Amino acid sequence: MRLQGKVALVTGAASGYGAEIARRFVREGAKVVLLDLNVDGVKRVASEAGKGGVAVAGDVTKRSDLDAAIKTATDMFGRLDIVVNNAGWTYRNKPLLELTEQEFDKVFDINVKSIFHMMSAVVPLMRKQGGGSIINIGSTGGIRPRPGLTWYNATKGAVNLVSKSLAVELAPDRIRVNCVAPVMGETGLLEAFMGKDDTPENREKFIGTIPLGRFSKPSDIATACVNFADDESAFLTGVVLPVDGGRTV
């Protein structure tokens, strides 16, 4: 029960990393507001998580939806201690010049602008409370990029770096900001990252670039997030932690 008494908000919580982060936080004693556009999916995960999970439908690119999710947390539980900016998206891996402007705008809106909106919404609350923990989900793509995903890599490079910058700026307010940077993972976006059909043969080509010999799993990312959210990590801020099986070594 490492997060007993804590209240958290997890975005992109209907599937993949976000779903497992939310479930794990509840198991560790937290009350968790789960936010996602996928209404049925986020309700299902909240139900699976148990009594501490509350589902909220919303779009992370809309400030009003983030405000509503934060209000749900404070109305129901009185405060908000932890925010996990997990919601993310990628276009299908393809040559640079084939990317459309619409895809460019979408990947930056979901992966980067959503964090801008979240900071504007939650920092005043955390300052008033006397602190908090913000965890951003970056990527090894922002550290050691793969070809075919240039603008996705750029968004995650921004997430990785902005986490450090926010950590420095918000440290006087006792708001810690850290970043988890997964390698390619077993989520619904895997085929888009590969740019190929999800076959055992195609998986092996990418797994061969990861020294520990497998993709990341949602449980790996959830464990890292629990560590950052735990009060035992009170002196950790500005950390970008690759959870990557050695990919970025």
Task: Name residue 216's beta-bridge partners.
Answer: 185
pTM: predicted TM-score of the whole model, two decimal places: 0.95
pLDDT at 196: 77
pLDDT at 191: 81
> Which of 10, 5, 33 minimizes the C-alpha distance to 21?
10
pLDDT at 202: 83
pLDDT at 198: 84
pLDDT at 215: 92
Beta-carbon contacts of 25 under 8 Å, excluding residues fewer than 6 positions away, are 3, 6, 8, 10, 32, 52, 82, 222, 225, 226, 229
**Residues 3 and 77 sit within 8 Å (Cβ to Cβ):** no
Domains and CATH numbers, the chain: 7-187+217-241 (3.40.50.720)
What's the rounded Cα separation, in Å, for the pair 8 and 117? 17
Instruction: Quickly tell me which residue has 């209404």 as its tokens.
Output: 39
Task: Spell out a b/e string for 113-143, using b for 16 or more CB atoms within 10 Å of the CB, else e.
Answer: bbbebbbebbbebbeebeebbbbbbbbbbbb
Query: Model confidence over 169-217: pLDDT tens digits?
Result: 999 999 999 999 999 888 877 888 888 788 888 888 889 999 999 999 9
Instruction: Return the amino acid letter for 237.
Output: T
Point out the residues that are catalytic.
152
Residue segments in the chain with a per-residue pLDDT below the cut of 70: none
pLDDT at 15: 93
Beta-carbon contacts of 244 under 8 Å, excluding residues fewer than 6 positions away, are 140, 181, 182, 183, 210, 216
Average pLDDT, the chain: 95
- Structure token pair of residue 164: 């450090």
pLDDT at 46: 96
